[in-house]
Amino acid sequence: MSQSFDEISAQLKRRHRKSARLKWLSMGALGLAGLFLVIFFADMLGKGLPAFQQAQIRVEVTYSEQSQQLPLAAVNEDVRELVSRGWLRTLPMMMRDNPELLGSTRQEWVLADGQVDQYLKGHYTRLNDRQQAAVDALVEEGRAELKFNTTFFTRGDSKMPELAGIMSAAMGTVMTLLVTLAVSFPIGVMTAVYLEEFAPDNRLTQIIEININNLAAIPSILFGLLGLAIFISFFGVPRSSPLVGGLTLALMTLPVIIISTRTALRSVPDSIRHAAFGVGCSRWQVVRDHVLPLALPGIMTGSIIGLAQAMGETAPLIIVGMVAFIPDISASVTDAATVLPAQIFTWAGEPDRAFVEKTAGGILVLLSVLIAMNATAVVLRKKFERRW
């Protein structure tokens, strides 16, 4: 039964209205996601940027034998409560390492107590009225101010917020990722090359491919349980070490590298393979000399993204014990260590208000590294990929 022109026009108008509604809903969802992202970054910047500044006060420091025995005697009584206790505890070591300091009195900028730091930043503080007045007087005299917080980048963890830093966690992260890369990259690439270029298409190969795809989707905490059961309980790898953390993250990263490598290998046209076979190359020579070099940009991109994902993981590393209190840099991959995500997790549980900005500052550092790694992957893909 034929439709009239008016009925067809009405149907078209309904279709156009539905299309417009879908368009506006999609734009609204995208705008809402962007708004949440802006709020998140604004909140992190507002809370995290103060972590890159630290209160310091200029005091008279007396280096004497009495100061070696009783560090509190090194500074005047009127500012003793305002100086960081952690800094005072380092004085005996400083005098041991620098004997020429003994018998001298110097005007120096020293770390202020965490409560003084919070007061100068306008946050809640437990300083009493007398102590606040003393800090105000120091500020007026130019003897108390906020300076760039080098301690945050050069020291390890501490129970005193003014001394807490990310150095030990950053080095633990680097060592863990190096272990992850050394294990997952060659195994992942070789597995992908075999499955894509050499393996016969049979039931066993299909089962392996299905399981690899499933491994890429399971919760990361299960890899932590696997690492605990295999590497620590069975093989006896030291707990809390970058070695066990890297091996655990390698298990988690392997499916990502295998899948991305297979995708990169598939992107190479069959005509390249046929041409190489035509001039007498063996299958291995075709893969080694022709296919792999052309697929390398895609392989590198997938590997970098996989490492970036591993770098942001916390759950599997908590299971293998990488949430220990580590004030010093680990000397080897078998020593106890922690990583940036675990360090942030630890700081988030501290009751002291000063650790809130340390947590946000650590998140900003971690986000910066992750964004840089993902940007590197995009640049490499754009620069070296070939379109066939």
Kindly report the CATH number assigned to the domain that includes residue 172: 1.10.3720.10
Q: Residue 388's pLDDT is what?
A: 64
pTM of the model: 0.86
Residue 345 lies in a domain: yes
DSSP state of 112: B
**Total structural domains within the chain:** 2
Same-domain check for residues 141 and 216: no
pLDDT-based confidence at residue 3 (cuts at 50, 70, 90): low
CA–CA dist 337, 144 (Å, integer): 35
Residue 81 lies in a domain: yes
Residue 189 lies in a domain: yes
Q: Residue 183's pLDDT is what?
A: 94
Parent domain of 86? 50-97+104-148
Same-domain check for residues 73 and 171: no
Four-CA torsion 306, 364, 165, 150, nearest 10 degrees: 120
The residue-averaged pLDDT of 66-87 equals: 88
Same-domain check for residues 209 and 344: yes
Over pLDDT 70: what percentage of the chain? 98
Non-local CB neighbours of 33 within 8 Å, separated by 6+ positions: none
Q: Is 5 exposed, middle or buried (0-12, 13-18, 19+ CB in 10 A)?
A: exposed
